Chains A and B, each alone.
Chain A
Amino acid sequence: MASGIRDKVVILGMGCSKFGERWDREADDLMVEAFEEALKDAGIEKNRIEAAWLSTAIEEQHVGKSGVPLAVALRLPYIPVTRVENYCASGSEAFRGAVYAVASGACDIALALGVEKLKDTGYGGLPQRLRGALNSQYWPNISAPGSFAQLAAAYRAKHNVSADDLKRAMAHVSVKSHDNGARNDKAHLRNKISIDDVLKAPTVAAPLGLFDCCGVSDGSACAIVTTPEIAKSQGKRDLIAVKALQLAVSNGQEASHNAWDGSYFATARVASSRAYKEAGIERPREQIGLIEVHDCFSVTELVTMEDLHISPEGGAIKDVLDGFYDADGKIPCQIDGGLKCFGHPIGASGLRMLYEMYLQLQGRAGARQRKQDPVFGLTHNLGGFPAQNVCSVSIVGRYGA
């Protein structure tokens, strides 16, 4: 019987570049920016890294395929480097690769690095791209906001919520994230916004307006992981351990079978339940201290609060409006500003979320530091479309907790 990943691997160091429109930087530069911070934080020599995982999703826009771009950017000494892509969960996948490698005993120290340079397309939003020869012949010309916007219609129908009430709760989600992002000098967007700003913004994909959508940016983040024993031998104290790494992938059921009603993420419900079990968490609403979820769109964050089994089904609007997920609420969500303010350099996002958890759990988050020290932090990625997606749920926390 598998025992899971809990407390088998700890984070030795992390780094995160500034996210934003990095017009003057190549992907290489962003990788180095994140890596140098992580290496310094880990307190090791580069050559002690024995294996690496690189996550990029829209690699044709910047570095191209394979693990080579990471090896070249960092001049890694002929070690194994694997490139992973799994939609928006790519960064969490790189982390999973590195953590599993250490847990297996195959290597002592491994690197996970995500990078994406999206601002070289010439237009706003994620790049237009093909979805495969057959898919492209019958899928609508779906944009990311257009696919996620549909959650709103289905959620309203299921829970009998008026368009205005849902839109206001969605607006609260974005206003809260901008409040948080304003305190983070690595965030792309650092302006505070008002509910009115959100409600009056131009429509992108009904009912999502401009401020219901996360930005698109360039960025990189990375983690160096090792065993608790090696971390201690390096003089590390207050270790931050991996508690759970779960992934759930749609099998076409939501897209083709009438069991799913379109108002939630079937994958997120499964992945979070498995993650809590793996981490030994029985009452997530009481035990989880912080969450960073995949707030690609305000409505995604809202329904995800239920799919993570923190808000009761149909209860997310109340919790959001009550400030339950605000920075000073019971479980802050996106205390760093989230995708909303960091933007979404796809391969980097999952690692950027873990970076904030790592800082918060160690009390190193500066102006954003949560006063009541969190014990468990949860990160969540959601890639694809509500009807067909990849969902990752990761939990990190104090070693031994």
Chain B
Amino acid sequence: MQGLVAFGAYVPRLRLQRAAAVQANAWFNPALKAQAKGERAIANWDEDAITMAVEAARDCIGAHDRARIGQAILASTTLPFQDRQNVGVVAQALSLRRDIGTLDIAGSQRAGTSALIQALRGSGETLIVASERRRTKAASPQELGYGDAAAAFLVGSENVVAKLVVAHSEAVDFVDHFRGHGPQSDYDYGWEERWIRDEGYNKLLPPAVSAALKRADLTGADIAHLCVPVAMRGVAPGLAKRLGIAEERVRDVLAANLGDAGTAHPLVMLADALAAAKPGERILVIGFGQGVDVLVFETTPALAKLPARLGVQGWLKRRKAETNYQRYLTWNDLVTIERGMRAEGGALPPTLSSGYRNMEMLLGLMGGKCRICGTVQWPQSNVCVNPNCNAFHSQDDHPFAEKLGKIMSYTADQLTYSPDPPACYGMVVFDEGGRFMADFTDVDSESLAVGARMRMTFRVKEFDSQRGYTRYFWKAAPAA
């Protein structure tokens, strides 16, 4: 029977201090002051639903054999490409096999849980990731309440850490908010919260959860962890009470330090619950959006043997408080900023043919290893770089993405264009051999040092706003 084989998560490093946004906007909407506490996760300028999916997938997969993965699914309502399979980028970044099934699932806040249900109904091993970089208007309640994050699961039938007990779905075209098409389609258009609570959560969730429990012959008392991805005050405790679930079994909705990660949020909460759960416990997770998904899992003894991973709490600990609301506005195109003439000239056209020809190198960070002398090198080339070898056509694929390196040289460049100046970059040298001049991300320029340990992370290299094209490549980020 299919179940969860592994889980992982990703939360971007920067946490916008809500007080900073409220201070800027309360003149316009004083009601925002009620949301001034805590912080929310915000993507760096070079992160989107694809890059965060890659990070969550890496956290999930760990040392697990990637060649076993036969299907990859990405759920998101903020996919960077409308017509280019987004999970295809993720699969290439992870250097998954070519003969796998791939699928993007979108269109609803329930996309994450529904994708998980689809994976659990399939066979073989599936990687399913839910990822969201949320778009909100300045001075909106959503700007304060939402968060950016991703969660990933391996679904399979061997070494299951949490088996599926029941999955139940109900489809109801209840529209609490929507994004259509047209000039305003980037942002949610929502309805009054009290209506959403009374007619939505309070009327649609209880019958769906009860139906699921009944199908599994369970009661609320059998649930150890209740994941309700609704931050609105009173909703989750009210549901727990109606189902006979003790209030302390309601999982933290992560509103204080992460924010609502949209369609990824139920899966983020599930990953968080799995990290806290003991073997033999039941976890109930809800997805809400034009209906309800309910999934109940029961953890197995294998959960205790799962290798350590960062998970939600591990990533949450890697944080930097962002108090500069203006930077957040700039990165999210919510303010027109003078970027300078250097920002105009450099944009490369989409380069689809050369990008395709080199996709293992560019998306997978695949390098080479010389069969003759053993030298590991990036990029792979026709002639071995070792001056004592220089053999022709001697290199086999050798992956670099999971290697740790260290800084050999660096700078913090104020001249060149970067959305987050100064542009920090330098030569990164890998212990087993190989090096390349890499952009640094998630760094503070003053803490750069020769010898600093770096890990590779898949990021947006640049965004061509003229053509709407996002180019991706790997960057170096502090290893810890």
A residues apposed to B, CB below 8 Å: 121-123, 125, 127-130, 133-134, 136-143, 145-147, 149-151, 153-154, 156-157, 202-206, 208, 252-253, 255-259, 261-262, 385-387
Contacts and interface: CB of A to CB of B under 8 A. Distances in A.
Contacts of B416: 128, 141-143, 146, 205
A258 B385 CA distance: 10
A134 B415 CA distance: 23
B418 to A, nearest CB: 7
Given A123-B340, A150-B409, A253-B387, A204 B429 contact: no
A137 B354 contact: yes
Contact of B415 (A133, A146, A151, A157): A146
B463 to A, nearest CB: 13
B102 to A, nearest CB: 23
B325 interface: no
Interface stretch (B50-58, B156-164, B199-207, B341-349): B341-349
B450 A153 contact: yes
A261 B375 CA distance: 17
B387 A387 contact: no
B461 interface: yes
Given A137-B471, A256-B377, A145 B340 contact: no
B445 interface: yes
A146 B413 contact: yes
Interface residues of B, number: 54
B409 A262 contact: yes
B351 interface: yes
Interface in B332-361: 340-342, 344-346, 348, 351, 354-355, 358, 361
Given A128-B417, A252-B381, A253-B385, A153 B345 contact: no
Contacts of A141: 346, 416-418, 423, 439, 462
Given A137-B354, A253-B387, A256-B379, A205 B437 contact: no
B348 A137 contact: yes
B410 interface: yes
Contacts of A133: 348, 351, 354
Interface in B403-458: 407-418, 422-423, 425-427, 429, 433-439, 445, 448, 450-451
A258 B348 contact: no
A67 B411 CA distance: 38
A245 B415 CA distance: 34
A253 B433 CA distance: 12
B140 interface: no
Contacts of B438: 140
B386 interface: yes
B427 A140 contact: no
15 contacts: A122-B341, A123-B342, A140-B437, A141-B418, A146-B425, A153-B450, A204-B415, A205-B412, A205-B416, A205-B422, A206-B413, A206-B422, A255-B436, A257-B385, A258-B433
A128 B427 CA distance: 21
B410 A143 contact: no
Interface of B: 340-342, 344-346, 348, 351, 354-355, 358, 361-362, 375, 377-379, 381, 385-387, 407-418, 422-423, 425-427, 429, 433-439, 445, 448, 450-451, 461-462, 471, 473
A133 B410 CA distance: 24
Contacts of B437: 139-140, 142, 255, 385, 387
Contacts of A125: 342, 415
B362 A206 contact: no
B387 A140 contact: no
Contacts of A145: 411, 413, 415
Contacts of A261: 408
Which of A125, A141, A385 gathers most chain B CB within 10 Å?
A141
Given A142-B425, A145-B415, A149-B411, A256 B436 contact: yes
A88 B415 CA distance: 19
B128 to A, nearest CB: 29
B319 to A, nearest CB: 25
B346 A137 contact: no
A128 B345 contact: yes
Q: Which label, helix, strand, loop or mixed, suits the secondary structure of the A interface?
A: loop
Given A137-B351, A137-B473, A140-B425, A256 B434 contact: yes
A52 to B, nearest CB: 31
B375 A130 contact: no
B410 to A, nearest CB: 5
Contact of A206 (B378, B408, B412, B429): B412
B414 A140 contact: no
A59 to B, nearest CB: 16
A373 B460 CA distance: 58
Which 7 residue pairs across A and B have the least CB separation, nearest first? A146-B413, A150-B409, A143-B416, A140-B425, A149-B411, A128-B345, A157-B450
A86 B377 CA distance: 26
Nearest to B473: A138
Which of A127, A133, A202, A252 gathers most chain B CB within 10 Å?
A133
B409 A256 contact: no
Given A123-B341, A137-B473, A157-B450, A143 B435 contact: no
A150 B409 CA distance: 5
Contacts of B436: 138, 255-256
Contacts of A121: 341
Contacts of A156: 450
A258 B473 contact: no
Given A123-B342, A257-B387, A261-B408, A136 B348 contact: yes
Contacts of A387: 427, 437
B367 to A, nearest CB: 9
Contact of B362 (A123, A137, A140, A154): A137
B409 A258 contact: no
A154 B445 CA distance: 16
Contacts of A154: 408-409, 427, 450
Given A134-B354, A146-B413, 12 more contacts: A125-B342, A130-B346, A138-B461, A140-B437, A141-B418, A141-B462, A143-B413, A202-B414, A205-B415, A256-B434, A262-B409, A387-B437
A137 B344 CA distance: 17
A343 to B, nearest CB: 16
Contacts of B375: 257
A254 B189 CA distance: 54
A246 to B, nearest CB: 19
B215 to A, nearest CB: 51
Given A123-B342, A130-B346, A137 B378 contact: no
Contacts of B410: 150, 153
B265 to A, nearest CB: 34
Nearest to B426: A150
A150 B342 contact: no
